[in-house]
Structure 1
Amino acid sequence: MASIAKRPDGRWRARYRDDAGKEHAKHFARKVDAQRWLDEVTASILTGQYVDPRAGKVTFGAYATAWQARQMHRTNTQAAVDSALRVHALPRFGDRPIASIRPSEIQQWVQDLSGKLSPATVRVTYQHLRSVFRAAELDRVIARTPCERVTLPRVERPHVEPLPTAVVLAIQAAMPARWAALVTLMAGTGLRPGEAAGLTIDRVDFLRRILRVDRQLLLTRPHTFGPPKTRSSVRSVPLPQVVVDALAAHIAAYPPGEHGLIFTGRHGGPVNRDDVARSFKAAARVAGAPATARLHALRHYYASLLIRHGESVKVVQARLGHASAKETLDTYSHLWPDSEDLTRAAVDEVLGAAADSARTEAAL
């Protein structure tokens, strides 16, 4: 219900009640302005775009905290969202009324982040911020999200150059004995560091030579198991004999720890991935690997082996647990044989052989 009434001071008071029964009022010098305001409010209600004027006064920090509590994020995602908001978004916008934040301020925030973070990290941090504003828009806390037409830094996908086999073997030899088999496992199965660190003996079928990947060891304190990176990361990976032998020798030397963990830390508990990463970096330096080589390079090495031996995109995607073939091609397309060479070879194999046959018959 809406109405306009003239006040004793000569001003016009327009008022209405929203769906919740709350009354909203505003004063105008002219009646025509009061009517225009009511018409705009009525139109927004009819089109589903109405926003309670008082709702936008809630601070960004308060709304973001409530939003986080409602999400059904995986453990790793939850930690990433919390870090992005707590470290980068809340210090800038936490105390501000959420409706007062403008697109230009979001753009300036992105530019400031770009001066100290990598483009990929800036994009991920922005996506978490955008999710909060998008939820506020859907909740009708704000009329429109300020995260529109924001220019983000360009992410240059690194060119993957797989480590040579000799270097991988040299790294394995230079690793602490407790973790040498971890190198063989990752190079021979393509497991991610967290998947390899969280591997338990009940996930390895030595008889059928199959490894089941359905969880990983999370970077939490204390260490806990969590789901793999994505749903498509749940997979079964065939175990080459060299990996079976390496795991069997490792288990004989270092019996499984709590929960049946195959790889453990120096004191027998869950392996500390930071310790392993530091040991790998030192071993890579001894082996003459590039300074940028990290544990993840073993996953790239595994993918390159599959491609070199003629496996299709779909097979490589399945073995690595990628969400899509596009992700696989975006990362490794340059490792497949050049399509132009394949085209030439295919035509030469058929037409070339036919031409040779025709010339032979003509000569006879």
Structure 2
Amino acid sequence: MASIQPLANGKRRARYRDAAGKEHARHFDTKREAQQWLDQVTASVVRGDYVDPQAGRTTVAVYAASWEAIQVSSEGTRRIVDNALRLHVLPVLGGHKIATVRRSHVQALVKELEGKGLSAGSVRNIYEVVARLFDAAAEDRVIASTPCRRIALPKGDGAEVVPPALEQIEAIRSHLDERWQVIPLVLAGSGLRIGELLGLGMFDVDYLRRSVRVERQRLQSGALAPLKSKTSRRTVPIGEVVVEALTAHLAAHPGTDEALFTDEWDDPLTYRRWKSLWRAAATTAGVDATSHDLRHFAASALISGGASVKQVQTFLGHSSAVITLRTYAHMFPGDEDRTRNVLDAALRPVLSPSADSVRTEAAPR
């Protein structure tokens, strides 16, 4: 129900009740202005895009807390969202009333993130959280529309993946304690992600068929969890070098049904412990490489051996060949020599017509 009431001071008080029965009112100088406002409200209700003016006064921080609490996602995704909000978004936008956030505010946030030296990929990941947050607010009718429109994001630096050389891997391995030296070999020989490797149990390795069954991952919290996608669940072939190294390792340091690799106390080796061990060994060896680079080494070896894009995609557990090509396209051999020969054959008569005519006259009739 809507109405316009004249006031003693000559102004007009327009008011209406929303679907929840809450009354909203504004004062205007003329009855015409009051009626126009009520008409706009009525039209927004009919279109289905009505927004409670009071809802937009909620701060970004308050809405983000309630939004984050109801998200259904994996632990890894929850951690990414929480870090993005807590470390980057809320310190900048958290105090704003959510309805007052404009496109320029979001663009300024992106610019600030870039200025902190974050990679283009990191900035994009944080922005995706912001976009999801404001999309939800628009769906909840807290705001009329999201401010995340036409935001210019930094482009990647285009740096190509450069896998470590075998000598560099061996240098790092030599600075690891004997108990851990098998892990770089397994990573380089299987292309597993570190979470996938730490999620392996004793019975995930088939020594007869020389393969590893990847069915779960170990999160940074230490808990076992499903893989992030269906394509990540796969059987990975491994060679004799990896099989022999694993056999020798397990003879000295038996694993368990839950964990193929354990620490000195027979507890599952954690991500943080392994990261610390690798960083120390790499620093001592003077090699700038992460353990994830061993995955690139495996991919590079396959490509050098003539593997197709599809084979590399399946081996690594990529969800699509697009991801494989985006990462490793520069490693696949091209057909440059054939291209050069074809173009030379087409252009040679133009550059050397006399030589071509000589060859024609000399040809047997």
TM-score normalised according to structure 2 size: 0.87
Q: Distance in 1 between matches of 2:128 and 2:214?
A: 28
Alpha-carbon distance in 2 for matches of 1:196, 1:93: 39
Which residue in 2 is equivalent to 1:237?
236
Aligned counterparts, 1:136-155, within 5 A? 136-155=137-156
Change (3 A) 1:346 1:192: farther
Provide the residue aligned with 1:78 in structure 2: 78
Look up the equivalent residue of 2:131 and give its one-letter code. Answer: R
1:336 alignment partner in structure 2: 332
Structure 1 counterpart of 2:99 = 99
Question: In 1, distance between residues paired with 2:262 and 2:337?
Answer: 47
Change (3 A) 1:285 1:68: closer
Distance in 2 between the 1:165 and 1:118 partners? 28
Which residue of 2 is the match for residue 24 of structure 1?
A: 24
Alignment of 1:42-57 (within 5 A): 42-57=42-57
- 2: CA distance between counterparts of 1:66 and 1:45? 25
Alignment-derived partner of residue 280 in structure 1 = 278
Report the Cα offset of residue 228 of structure 1: 2.7
Can you list the C-alpha shifts for 1:204-238, whole angstroms capped at 9, x where unaligned? 22222221112211111xx2112334443222211
Q: Which of 254, 266, 269 is residue 268 of structure 1 equivalent to?
A: 266
Q: Percent identity?
A: 47
- AA of the residue aligned to 2:15: R
Distance change (3 Å), C-alpha of 1:297 and 1:325: same
Cα contact 2:202–2:258 (8 A) shared by 1? yes
CA drift at 1:277: 3.0
1:342/1:310 CA distance change after superposition, 3 Å: farther
TM-aligned CA deviation for residue 287 of structure 1 = 5.7
- 1:154-303 map, 5 Å: 154-220=155-221, 223-257=222-256, 259-284=257-282, 289=287, 291=288, 293-303=289-299
TM-score, normalised with respect to structure 1: 0.87
* CA root-mean-square deviation: 2.4
1:10 aligns with 2:7: no
Distance 1:286 1:5 in 2: 81
How far is 1:331 from its partner?
A: 0.7
> Is the alpha carbon distance of 1:260 and 1:227 closer, same or farther for their aligned partners in structure 2, counting shifts above 3 Å?
closer
Aligned-pair distance for 1:90? 1.9
Secondary structure at the aligned position of 2:181 is classed as helix
Contact 2:258–2:268 at 8 Å: present in 1 too? no
> 1:318 pairs with 304, 308, 314, which one?
314
List alignment gaps of at least 5 residues for structure 2: 344-362
Shift in CA distance, 329/342, structure 1 to aligned 2, threshold 3 Å: farther
8 Å contact from structure 2 (residues 210, 239) kept in 1: yes
* Residue pair 2:262, 2:268 contacting (<8 A) in 1 also: yes
Report if aligned partners of 2:103, 2:149 keep a CA contact under 8 Å in 1. yes
Q: Which moved more, 1:40-49 or 1:270-279?
A: 270-279
Distance 1:271 1:346 in 2: 56
Number of residue equivalences: 345
Q: Distance in 1 between matches of 2:266 and 2:206?
A: 23
Q: CA deviation at 1:342?
A: 5.7
Instruction: Using the TM superposition, give the Cα deviation of residue 5 of structure 1 relative to its aligned residue in structure 2, in angstroms.
Output: 2.7
